[in-house]
Amino acid sequence: MARKFYSIFSLKYPPCHGGDLFPTGALSFRQPFAQYTHCPTCGQPCFPEPGFYYGALFISYIGSGFFCLGVGLFLHWVLGWSMLASFAVLIGLVAILFVWWFLASRTAYLHLVFGFKPDILAAARAGKIDVRPPTTIKTT
C-alpha cells in the first residue's frame, strides 16, 4: 500500500510504477498540462479511451474541497487567525498547488482503474519490452 501511495504522489504510471506520466515536474508551470501518450517504461497507453479522465474531476473536486475545509478550519479555529487571513493563505496555497493537484488527481484515477502488475515491471526492467519514445499531448 505504501508503494501505491508513493507511486501516486510521485506521479508514476500504475502497471509498472516506474514510468513518469508527465514530462514536466509536479510544480512546474512550463507546459503544466502536458502528458505522455504512453508510459516510457512499459509502453502502456496513458489515454485508454476518449474522455477517460472525467473521473479524475471528481477526485480533484472531493480532494480539494476537503483540503480547503481542513486548512481553513485549522487556520481559523486552531491558530485563531481571522477569516481574511485564513482565506488569503488558503488562496495562496491553492494557487501554488493547483498544477500538482491536477496531476495527482489524474494519477490517482489511473491507479484506481489500473493496478500494479509486477510481471510488467519485471519485463520492463529485464528489457523484454520494446518501447518507442513517448510523445506528449499538450492540451488534455
Running along the chain, 140 residues long, what does each successive block of 10 average in pLDDT?
A: 85 86 80 85 83 89 95 96 96 92 91 84 78 69
Per DSSP, the chain holds a count of helices (H) and strands (E) of 4, 2
CA angle centred on 63, ends 114 and 138, rounded to 5° = 60
SS3 label, residue 30 = coil
The span from the CA of 43 to the CA of 52, in Å, is 18
Nearest residue to 35 via CA among 107, 121, 131: 107
Q: How many domains does one find in the chain?
A: 1
The model's pLDDT over 98-124, given as tens digits with 9 standing for 90+, comes to 989 999 999 999 999 888 888 877 887
Give Cα 41 distance to the centre of its chain.
17
Which range marks the domain in which residue 18 is found? 2-137
State pTM to two decimals. Answer: 0.82
